[in-house]
Structure 1
Amino acid sequence: MAETQRAAGATATASSRKRWVFPQRAAPEEVKVAVRPVEREEREAHRSLAVPFRGHISGGAQPGKKIIIFGHVDPRPDRFYVALTCGRGTSREPPANVALELCARFRERQVLRRTCKSGTWWEAERAAPFFPFIPDQPFKLEIRCERSRFRVLVDGEQLCDFPHQVASLDDVDTLWIKGNITVTKLA
């Protein structure tokens, strides 16, 4: 009798599995829903933010605030930019006052930092202890706002400090991202 119950259970289990593997024809009043596994790239594409990206920094870049960008470098990158600006500017370019612009250049393996005041760009800082971005790899870029500077970390390692030239961090209210990356999350 135990063998009969096991055989009946195996048949029920097999028929249950069979129903999922080979869907049965639905009755006319039922609605069929197609479900298929989502590939990794498709999942990432659904979670990504459109680049170029422009977004508001709520409350401005106050001391103690962190701006965190989770992203993925394109497989064949040239460069990408992250900028903290005073004002939204136009849809094409940032406004005349840029508190910090980071430009990752892959050919030169440099991360340039510069500022723009009243439409005039200052000399770029180029020195950095390492180049943290790798083609086709994810990264976490963190910009910490402090009273007199921005501290930039990539994947938890300090890349640089950049003294800001703006009168008030509260005026820094917009984040710009453009170039050869995919942004998966902002925090």
Structure 2
Amino acid sequence: MAGSLVESDRPKIGGDHLNSSLGSPVQAEVFFPRLTVPFCGHIKGGLRPGKKILVMGIVDLNPESFDIRLTCGESEDPPADVAMELKVVFTEKQFLRNACVSGEWGDAESTIAYFPFIPDQPFRVEILCEHPRFRVFVDGHQLFDFYHRVETLAAIDTIKINGDLQLTKLG
């Protein structure tokens, strides 16, 4: 199923699709302009129930980790509240979730049914904001829920992405 989503997003070149590795790095740069990492972007109007965030990318060949943060602004000093940090750790095959409110990190959640990320392969992360929680899907499969620790959803207006990946699409 995930392969078909990615396949349909590929441009045709001379009537043929690019191969599953997206061709050579030169071809990939030409046909898939990268969003730069680290990335910081504004979520227009903040979050609300029913709003979805899409992050598509390709894991680096020899990754250690990458993270996706939904924050309340971009401030570094004092640090903005982190409504949800998703941290993918390849050495331990973990997908950690946590939040930082008023400078205090909560307890990290780490339980997942399986580890969905593969080095040098594309992925699609969808974060659906619902009233009590975020629902997180990877490649079309629901992986976990993360219950809100930041109560004012509209204040969650920034997405930050960092680590061992290339971004291909945000939405």
Q: Return the offset for 1:45.
A: 2.5
- Aligned residue number for residue 15 of structure 1: none
| Residue ranges of structure 1 left out of the alignment (5+ in a row) | 1-38
Matched, 1:170 2:157: no
Query: For residues 132-169 of structure 1, what are the alpha-carbon distances to aligned partners after superposition, in whole Å with 9 as ceiling and x for unaligned?
Result: 10000000010001111000000000111000111211
Query: Structure 2 vs 1, CA of residues 65 and 43 (structure 1 numbering), >3 Å: closer, same or farther?
Result: farther
2:74–2:80 Cα contact (<8 Å) kept: no
- Aligned identity (percent) is 51
- Aligned residue number for residue 136 of structure 1: 120
1:99–1:164 Cα contact (<8 Å) kept: yes
3-state secondary structure, aligned to 2:50: coil
77, 87, 94: which one pairs with 2:63? 77
The whole-number CA distance in structure 2 between the counterparts of 1:99 and 1:132 is: 23
Query: Structure 2 vs 1, CA of residues 160 and 94 (structure 1 numbering), >3 Å: closer, same or farther?
Result: farther
- Aligned residue number for residue 29 of structure 1: none
The whole-number CA distance in structure 2 between the counterparts of 1:95 and 1:71 is: 27
Matched, 1:160 2:144: yes
3-state secondary structure, aligned to 2:41: strand
Matched, 1:118 2:102: yes
1:141–1:152 Cα contact (<8 Å) kept: yes
Q: Return the offset for 1:44.
A: 2.6
Kindly provide the amino acid, as one letter, of the partner of residue 163 in structure 1: Y
Larger Rg: 1
- Aligned residue number for residue 79 of structure 2: 95
The whole-number CA distance in structure 1 between the counterparts of 2:93 and 2:34 is: 25
Q: Which has the higher strand share?
A: 2
2:117–2:123 Cα contact (<8 Å) kept: yes
The whole-number CA distance in structure 2 between the counterparts of 1:174 and 1:94 is: 15
Question: Which aligned runs of 4 or more in structure 1 are off by greater than 6 angstroms?
Answer: none
Q: Return the offset for 1:43.
A: 3.8
- Aligned residue number for residue 11 of structure 2: none
The whole-number CA distance in structure 2 between the counterparts of 1:56 and 1:144 is: 17
3-state secondary structure, aligned to 1:45: helix
The whole-number CA distance in structure 1 between the counterparts of 2:103 and 2:118 is: 32
Q: Return the offset for 1:170.
A: 0.2
151, 163, 187: which one pairs with 2:135? 151
The whole-number CA distance in structure 2 between the counterparts of 1:180 and 1:71 is: 10
3-state secondary structure, aligned to 1:48: coil
3-state secondary structure, aligned to 1:124: coil
| Residue ranges of structure 2 left out of the alignment (5+ in a row) | 1-22
Q: Which has the higher helix share?
A: 1
1:114–1:123 Cα contact (<8 Å) kept: yes
Q: Return the offset for 1:40.
A: 4.0
Q: Return the offset for 1:88.
A: 1.0
1:150–1:163 Cα contact (<8 Å) kept: yes
